[in-house]
Amino acid sequence: MSQENKDPLLEMYIFETNELIQKLEEIILESEKNNSYSLNMDEIFRIMHTIKGNSAMLLYDNISLLAHSMEDLFDYIRKCKPSNIKYSEITDLVLESKDFIRVEIEKIQMNNEPDGDAKNLISKVKNTLLSLKGDDEGTKENCLEKKKKPDLKQKFYISSLRKTSPKIIMDNEQNHPYKVVVKFINNAKMENVRAFTIVHNLDVIVKNISYVPKDIIENEESIKEILENGFTLYFESDKPMEELKKIINRTSCVESVQIEPVEETAAKQVKSITPDCNENVENTNSSHNHITSNILSVNVEKMDMLMDLVGELVVAESMVTGSSDLNGIHLENFNKSARQLRKIINDLQDIVMDVRMVPIAPTFLKMNRIVRDMCKKLSKEVELKLIGEDTEVDKNIIESISDPLMHLIRNSMDHGIESTKERVAKGKNPKGTITLTAKNEGGDVFIIIKDDGAGLNKISIYNKAFANGLTDKSIEELSDKEVNSFILLPGFSTNDSVTEYSGRGVGMDVVCKNIDNIRGTVSINSVEGKEMTTIIKIPLTLAIIDGMLIEVGNTSYTIPTISIRRSFKLEEKDLIIDPDGNEMVMVRGECYPLISLYKVFNEETEITDALDGIIIMVENGGKSICLLADQLIGQQQVVIKALPKYIKKTKGIAGCTLLGNGNISLILDASALIS
Amino acid sequence: MNLNEMIDSEMEIEEDTQKDKYLVFTIDKEKYGIEIKYVIEIIGIQTITKVPELDDYIKGIINLRGKIIPVMDVRVRFKKPVMEYDDRTCIVVVDVGELTVGLIVDRVSEVVNISEDQVVLPPVTSKKEKNKYINGIGKIGEEVRLLIDCNKLLNDDDKDTIKELI
């Protein structure tokens, strides 16, 4: 997200609209499954309405018109309940619109003008509506009548995401123009600021607000004018005058408020319809289980800053309580308070960590769409099952697993699941199943994608790998696991033809790269002809790792515990030196290269003999090497910090971390050392 | 005066107070000046964590109240003989654009005013590299201060261009 000082209103709009269209997609897909819109009608309506209103407010006409036409469509469905709804057609339409809106929002986000043309889509929507109406001639008049009865309660919607500043968006037909003259009491002072407060208060509930004098904030001269002529506002609103008056009166020092409707429309009497909007929303929300009632959206940068600060607090605390000045002094009360402080800081750290955690559900639900679209295109029948979507992971991780998941699902859809015919011939359930599971285990999150399709064909993978020179062993020598791991290599595809969805061999590479970036691993299990399972193992959070502190010379390094296999003292008989002087270590009959860290990092140390130091075996991506360090210091959770940008990337160092005493420890990058 | 104007004029005043002011530090026998607007703070020498594979003039990284910044030994950068750090060795923390870097200098002496008309361009010599980090010479009475170009000091453009040529 670009962090330039964007108009907060715009930022909110982008965030909210994105959220809304995502939800719309979920709902629409769910409705299609149930073949009924009745459960979610209000929700769909509310989303359309909010998008329409917000977009219109910011003058994004294409979006608001599209939303408006969709609203018409659903309005008809809701009121007339036509019997001949083609759910899949409407779903297509809604999804297409959603994509359109998404693209436009992206443009806005990049500070471009949203210039997409929605005309085609709108006419499509209109045609659908017409055909619905046409087929449903009988009920048509009926419902037109119904339409006349103003179903006013339904016309009020409020975005649940804006609890703090409820913004009500109304239908135009209920807005009435008003003119208001406000006079402040004498000696009120700061009339311009007070006037602005009124504007601000009204802004959220009225439309098209304008006022005289115009430049109340910029120009202090305006105070005089306000004093002389009063502060005049023009706006449109559906609220009764009394209520508007009340709102204006909320500002202090208001002497008198004069409200008058500008046209005779007021004669029609504004139907007094001001339902408690909040209540209305609460109802619709509770029907949807993925929404938590009170959400505060916070800029991720602020979160990062908070976490950094808490990290520093932890370090500072141990610097204070472990200060060498305290040595040898008996301080009962100090220690008591220090313990209390530590407890609070620990709690604080836990909470900050917890705040960054978000459920994986939205990412999973996105996959529904992919499965649905591909089902249609490939004419396969596939059901997507989601398990454990409540599992929570760090925000950064969520972002990086969305792409890999999409590729894996596509792979399963395209290669994995056979066509319905084939499935029947094989005696399988004609409907394929893809199961997406997320679960927490220890400090890791497992995401498992399982399909009951054809599985991997060991022979064809082997042949391809052999042809590409990836292996020179015979097929008998390789284990299933080794053969399976070939498909994770870039450019590897057993598909001979490139389809819309796959075949270029990029997919699995993307999966691996993305997962690797977040320090996760990918492994594949497959039973030929029956199923294929891809297991992604990722850490719970990116910011904190379990690290083993080691010492080389005077410098302390941290090795992520996840990559350590074992550590041991070397016996002379296990050390092998080849004619080139390369050292190797025999462990349980296998030979591993030995890398002396003091050589790699140019450290001065007394321990240069592999027999004196400690050997740490690290593993990454199936390969293991042994590292020689002076000694192990201990295990500790560390907060990862990036090296300053000024320092060009150094091989073998992944970042650094602060130790309890304020010193810096460098974090070793096991994968770089291995390669 | 409205708020924006007030802020603007406030900023101008602040800029004014920093104008023509230089922090003077010593390396070997020479005295150098660095524009005060770049300087964040001056700290004593502290434990430096070495980072492998760096240019020799970058000594490593330090922990500045939770922020990790690289430190550069200006002595080594200017190809002067290496000297042990002592009590008077200072780290001048500068902020140039996005970069925050600590400069290790022998000692920091004072902040002086050198008005623009007292600054002359460094003499052009055939050997360019001799004054590539200096963008002016400031005169204070009889003495001179070599004024450092912070951008050039931090960003080794020459090196990259040479690399590109190869």
Average pLDDT, chain A: 75
User: What CATH number corresponds to the domain at position A225?
Assistant: 3.30.70.1110
Distance CA A596, CA A574 (A): 16
Domain shared by A438 and A329, yes or no: no
For position A287, what pLDDT does the model report?
41
Q: Is residue A343 predicted with pLDDT exceeding 80?
A: yes
Q: Stretch A109-136: mean pLDDT, rounded? A: 76
CATH code for position A578: 2.40.50.180
What Rg do the C-alpha atoms of chain B give, in angstroms? Answer: 17
Nearest to B116 by CA among B39, B11, B37, B22: B22
- Report which DSSP code applies to A413: I
Overall average pLDDT of the A211-232 stretch: 71
Claim to verify: residue A452 and residue A423 sit in the same structural domain: yes
Residues of B in contact with A673 (CB under 8 A): none
Scan for tokens 């309890």, then name that residue. Answer: A660
Query: Do both A444 and A534 map to the same domain?
Result: yes
Choose among B2, B52, B99: nearest Cβ to A646: B99
CB contact under 8 A, B61 and A652: no
- The whole-number pLDDT of residue A340 equals 93
Domains identified in chain A, total number: 5
How far away is chain A from the Cα of B115, in angstroms, using its nearest Cα?
32
Same domain, A351 and A367: no
Share of chain A above pLDDT 70, in %: 79
Of A341, A356, A371, the one marking the end of a domain is A356
Q: For residue A644, is the peptide bond before it cis, meaning its omega torsion is within 30 degrees of 0?
A: no
Q: Using CA atoms of A282, A283, A286, A290 in order, give the dihedral in degrees to the nearest 10.
A: -70
In a domain, A223, yes or no: yes
Superfamily of domain B23-165: CheA-289, Domain 4 (2.40.50.180)
A167 has a pLDDT exceeding 60:
no
Same domain (yes/no): A386, A535? yes
**Average pLDDT rounded to a whole number, residues A284-305:** 61
Give the domain extent around A23. 8-149
Task: Assess contact for A225 and A213: CB atoms under 8 A.
Answer: yes
| Nearest Cα residue to B28 out of B112, B117, B72, B89 | B89
pLDDT exceeds cutoff 90 at B18:
no
Mean predicted confidence (pLDDT) in A343-352: 86
Same-domain status, A383 and A345: no
The string of pLDDT tens digits covering residues A616-644 is 998 876 788 999 999 898 887 777 777 88
The pLDDT of residue A253? 67
**CATH number of the domain enclosing A437:** 3.30.565.10
pLDDT at A123 over 90: no
Q: What band does A275 get if pLDDT is binned at 50, 70 and 90? A: very low
Question: pLDDT per residue over B61-91, tens digit each?
Answer: 998 877 889 999 988 888 888 888 888 899 9
Residues 6+ apart with CB under 8 A from A187: none
Residue A291 has pLDDT above 70, yes or no: no
pLDDT band, residue A506 (cuts 50/70/90): low
Average pLDDT over residues A176-195: 71
Contact A603 B50 (CB under 8 A): yes
Per-residue pLDDT, averaged over A188-207, amounts to: 70
**Alpha-carbon separation of residue A129 from A76, A139, A184, A294, B6 (angstroms):** 8, 14, 52, 36, 58
Residue A158 placed within a domain: no
Measure B139 CA to nearest chain A CA, in Å: 33
The residue out of A488, A511, A539 marking a domain boundary is A539
Q: Which residue has the higher pLDDT, A220 or A504?
A: A220
The residue among B57 and A517 whose pLDDT is bigger is B57
The one-letter code for the residue type at B39 is V
Q: Test B52 with A646 for CB contact under 8 angstroms.
A: no
For residue A157, list its beta bridge partners.
A169
Band the pLDDT of A47: cuts 50, 70, 90. confident
User: A234 in a domain, yes or no?
Assistant: yes
Is the pLDDT reported for residue B93 higher than 90?
yes
| Same domain, residue pair A27 and A145 | yes
Structure tokens of A645?
């940008």
Instruction: Quote the minimal CA–CA distance from B143 to chain A in Å.
Output: 34
Q: What is the mean pLDDT of residues A347-353?
A: 84
Contacts of B58 in chain A (CB under 8 A): 646-647
Minimal-distance CA residue of chain B relative to A314: B66
Return the pLDDT at A344. Answer: 92
Q: Sign of torsion, CA A30 A36 A40 A45?
A: positive
| pLDDT value, residue B164 | 47
Separation between Cα atoms, residue A191 and residue A184, nearest integer Å: 7
Mark whether A465 and A595 lie in a shared domain: no
Q: What is the mean pLDDT of residues B32-50?
A: 89
Cα first-last separation, chain A: 34
- Tokens, residue A218: 């910029």
Sign of CA dihedral B79, B84, B86, B91: positive
Gap from B98 CA to chain A (nearest CA, Å): 9
- A398 lies in the same domain as A526: yes
Q: Long-range CB contacts (< 8 A, 24+ apart) of A428-432?
A: A428/A452, A430/A381, A431/A381, A431/A382, A431/A383, A432/A380, A432/A381, A432/A382, A432/A383
Query: Are residue A26 and residue A99 in the same domain, yes or no?
Result: yes
Same domain for A327 and A281: no
> Domain of A47: which CATH number?
1.20.120.160
d(CA A215, CA A221): 9
Q: CA dist B144 to B18, B35, B124, Å?
A: 20, 15, 17
Q: Which residues of B touch A600 (CB under 8 A)?
A: 52
Domain boundary among A312, A338, A356: A356
Comparing A90 with A548, the larger pLDDT belongs to: A548
Task: Say yes or no: A436 and A550 in one domain.
Answer: no
